[in-house]
Chains A and B, each alone.
Chain A
Amino acid sequence: MREQGIPVLEGIVATSEQRALDAARELGEGPWVIKAQIHAGGRAEGHVGGSEDLRGIEFSNTVLGVGQTAARMLGNSLVTPQTTRQGETINAVYIEPEIRSELQIFLAILIDGERGEPVCLASVKGGSQVERDIFDDPNSLVRAPLGATNQIALSVGHEVASQLGLSSSSIGAFAELVQQLHGLFVARDLSLIEINPLAIRSNGSLVALDARVTVDDNALYRQPAMGALASRGDQSGAEERAAKNGFNFIPLDGNVGTLSSGAGLAMATLDAITHLGGRPANFLDVPPVLEVSRVKEAFLLVLSDPGIKSLIVNVFGAGIMRCDTIADGLLLAHLEQPVSIPLVMRLAGTNAPLALSRLERSGLDIQFAPNLAAGAQMVIDAADSPPAPRHTYSIAGRLAQWITRAKEGPRS
């Protein structure tokens, strides 16, 4: 944003107490803001390390206070409404001067799917509560459709500013900012750019206090610089593995593992389990693939969660995703790491009978569900019942044979 001439607050990232102290001194006069750096929102509402008095965003009037707060944050985990219950570990804090502003604006550009074009959203109710405030009072939100153009007119921002009721001293700068943000949005293939809050100082000048940018994943092939920015160093091991394989994976807190193909079916699997009183341990959507090795990775990923007591596989074979690929992936995963929890398979669509016949001979503890309703109930019951005795005989050799034969054999 700085490159585009967008006014941002100067701040410094610190990864130790000493660096935090240095940063505070370097930034000059206080007071300062200390912000925990994690990849999730809701930081001002979150708690660090389970403590009641330490939030993810804190303020200090003294240099010493900055150091102390940084020391208490670093290495601890921050739990916010948008993280899991375990939270995310704080490996860095961001120190910046605290701005006392007249007005805090929420300003965003995102895609309006219904209209099929970018839209500018703005509200004078900026700050960490903005989502709640806007939901409570939808009329406080100003909307301006931006069309399919590469550059919007300054008049668009003028109109938004006047609808917000901004004073004349800041309207010009605001209109220019909206134009710059839109330029960035289009040039960098963003799906969201959001400044919250945008502070307006008493002299009318603007400064972005916090910003969030989401790059359109589908355009990363033509935005290499944004790809580098988007890579996350602090994902959990499982999330990183999932991202590497192109899986959509979200760990949850329950004990029923899930593996599906297709985001809709994966969500429906969670809904069906929750509806019957079960607790899903994860969301996992394996995109349609031909390679058995990727499916194997998906199984290893979901089975690596020590908290899962049973696993449901819900796949409707269609397109290039065939049920036998799922079956083979499971058998390969089992060779690498024996599966000891009960499995419920709901396989339908392309090559389902072939997959079922292969799995039936595998010796694994598998129940086959005729439909999703039955499968959801089976997998919940399996999670609640005491674990079955583990298979003690080795079937690895036979499995390997079957897989080889299957690969050479005809594909129906």
Chain B
Amino acid sequence: MSILVDESTRVICQGITGRQGTFHCERALASGTQIVGGVRQGKGGTSHLGVPVFDTVAEAIEVTQASASVIFVPPANAAEAIIEAADAGIALVVCVTERIPVLDMVRVRAHLKESNTVLVGPNSPGLAVPGVGTLGIMPQGIFLPGAIGIVSRSSTLTYEAVDQTTRNGLGQSACIGIGADPVGGISVSQCLQLFMDDDQTQGVALIGEVGGRAEENAAEFLSTLSSVKPVVAYIAGQTVPEGRRMGHAGTIVHYGLGTARTKIKALQDAGVRVVSSPVEIGSAMAESLGR
């Protein structure tokens, strides 16, 4: 059993011919990810990186039986790309594109309510299942197949958590970067559910950040479960002055909600071990598992 993708998952890339798409698909292919085709309107019938390119997602599915897509198209067209993939019946969409207007994502969210497509992102480093492959931009060579599920709102901190759990030998069952945008697809709580249901996962590392209510909701979700695997959390931005904007809209602290204080309290009340420094994620995880 594995998280969202397994050895049989066939993946296409929307925007495969662009600079970013090319760079990351090349590396993903080299590391064994099953990328079976690409989509770029106007380049249908050609091939790129040794895989066929199609004009539309529907055509790509027909020929390749793909069920997952990773999206690298520019921000102005990204919302349409997600909707196209969902309408064509893609089960898993990973959207790497950043800087998509938030009202476009409002439209996408409303559209996805009527479909079964799971969206990871946007503004996401993607998804990695060590031993199976990477969908997105996560660096190769830092993963170790193992026991820890990682869910993160921050791209670069995801790698930090991966690095620490690889170095101490725990390894990862899967690593999901849900993206830092205010309106996105899969939530922290939904990722926790996947990890709780997964046999390989023994513990979960949750990397949150100030702003929004994702961590509070995750805490609420955890307290409804009868048995919970150990969860270690770190909330980035504990020392950020309130009311100041650090990088992206997802980290605005609004109206006293979504501060590091409220998040840490909620998670601790739900039995989560919250570390105060990012350097302690790996060691706290090992301790929680008695290793």
Contacts and interface: CB of A to CB of B under 8 A. Distances in A.
Report the contact-size class of chain B (Cβ under 8 Å from the partner).
35 or more
Given A248-B246, A270-B240, A271-B236, A320 B20 contact: yes
Nearest to B142: A349
B256 A372 contact: no
A117 B105 CA distance: 9
A36 interface: no
Interface stretch (A51-59, A97-105, A131-139, A394-402): A131-139
A219 B212 CA distance: 20
Nearest to B154: A264
Contact of B278 (A148, A252, A272, A318): A272
Contact of B99 (A218, A248, A271, A376): A218
B1 interface: no
Interface string A265-298: 1111011101110001001010000000000000
Given A261-B156, A264-B153, A268-B236, A41 B243 contact: yes
B31 to A, nearest CB: 13
A373 interface: yes
Contact of A260 (B105, B156, B280): B156
A318 B155 contact: yes
A278 to B, nearest CB: 10
A218 B110 CA distance: 20
Given A148-B107, A271-B278, A372-B278, A266 B160 contact: no
Report the contact-size class of chain A (Cβ under 8 Å from the partner).
35 or more
Contacts of B245: 250
B76 A263 contact: no
A221 B100 CA distance: 11
A114 interface: yes
Interface in B133-176: 137-139, 142, 152-160, 163-164
B255 A131 contact: yes
B103 interface: yes
A141 B107 CA distance: 26
A373 B167 CA distance: 14
Interface string A311-347: 0000011111000000000000000000000000000
Chain A binding site: helix, strand, loop or mixed by DSSP?
Answer: mixed
A264 to B, nearest CB: 2
A77 B277 CA distance: 35
Interface of B: 20, 23-24, 75-76, 99-103, 105-107, 109-110, 125, 137-139, 142, 152-160, 163-164, 180-184, 187, 207, 209-210, 212-214, 217, 234, 236-241, 243-251, 254-257, 276-280
Interface of A: 41-42, 81-82, 110-111, 113-114, 116-118, 121, 131-132, 134-135, 141, 147-148, 186, 189, 191, 216-219, 221-222, 248, 250, 252, 260-268, 270-272, 274-276, 280, 283, 285, 316-320, 348-350, 371-373, 376
5 A-B pairs with least C-beta separation: A264-B154, A263-B247, A262-B156, A135-B256, A373-B279
10 contacts: A114-B214, A148-B109, A219-B102, A262-B154, A263-B154, A263-B247, A263-B248, A265-B154, A267-B236, A275-B276
